[in-house]
Amino acid sequence: MMMVLINTGTLAVILFCLVVGTPAQTCDNGQLTSMTLCTHDVAAGKKTKQHSTYNQDGRSENAVNGNTSGYWRTRSCTGTLWAPNPWWTVDLGASYQVGSIHIYNRVEGNLGPRLLGAQVLAGTAADPLRNEIIGTIGSKELLDNPIVFTLDKTVTHVSVRLPGNRKLLTLCGVEVYGVPL
């Protein structure tokens, strides 16, 4: 938790920012000029679903349990069965103004490239797989963990789908940073 004191000359305001955010900025005359909204992971603990489940260790809720370890044995990763076009989704339960989505990949062995070509979708459609594709994981993105997609959008659902004939989708963490509307 970060605490920032803003002094506007006659009024002091204390802001508590969770996880992400930058301090408010003031100019020389003490007037508040800009402030980044304080955001937090709005997907943590929310309701999830996925195409299928590889085994009990690969449950869909593992992606939002707060453990972003990229190792399967830590039970922090989801896992679908090998299938055409597997998917995973989280229902945020309300509308949020979302600024970024962080995807954590598997780091053990040579399994990270399995996520190559995965599409990240976000929006308010009742069928979350019909929401807008906000990014695709390419070879450059695979080098990052987490893989971060930035946006400025009202969102109720975030999904990841992996197009292809015989694919297995594994996610070791999904964090959605936003503020309630």
Mind listing the pLDDT tens digit of every residue in the chain (181 residues)?
333 433 333 333 333 333 344 343 333 434 433 334 578 999 999 999 999 999 989 999 999 999 999 999 999 999 999 999 999 999 999 999 999 999 999 999 899 999 999 999 999 998 989 999 999 999 999 989 999 999 999 999 999 999 999 999 999 999 999 999 9
DSSP code of residue 138: -
Structure tokens, 30: 């003490």
Alpha carbons 65 and 95: distance in angstroms, whole number: 20
Give the 3-state secondary structure of residue 75.
coil
Domain extent listing, the chain: 2-38, 41-180
Of all residues in the chain, what percent are helix, strand and coil, respectively (each to 5)? Answer: 10, 45, 45
Alpha carbons 150 and 118: distance in angstroms, whole number: 16
pLDDT value, residue 13:
31
Alpha carbons 177 and 170: distance in angstroms, whole number: 21
Alpha carbons 75 and 87: distance in angstroms, whole number: 19
Bridge partner residues of 180 (DSSP): 96
- Cβ neighbours of residue 91 closer than 8 Å, sequence gap 6 or more: 46, 47, 48, 49, 128, 156, 157
State the pTM of this model.
0.80
Domain 41-180 CATH superfamily: Galactose-binding domain-like (2.60.120.260)
pLDDT value, residue 12:
30
Helix (H) or strand (E) holding 137: none
pLDDT value, residue 37:
53
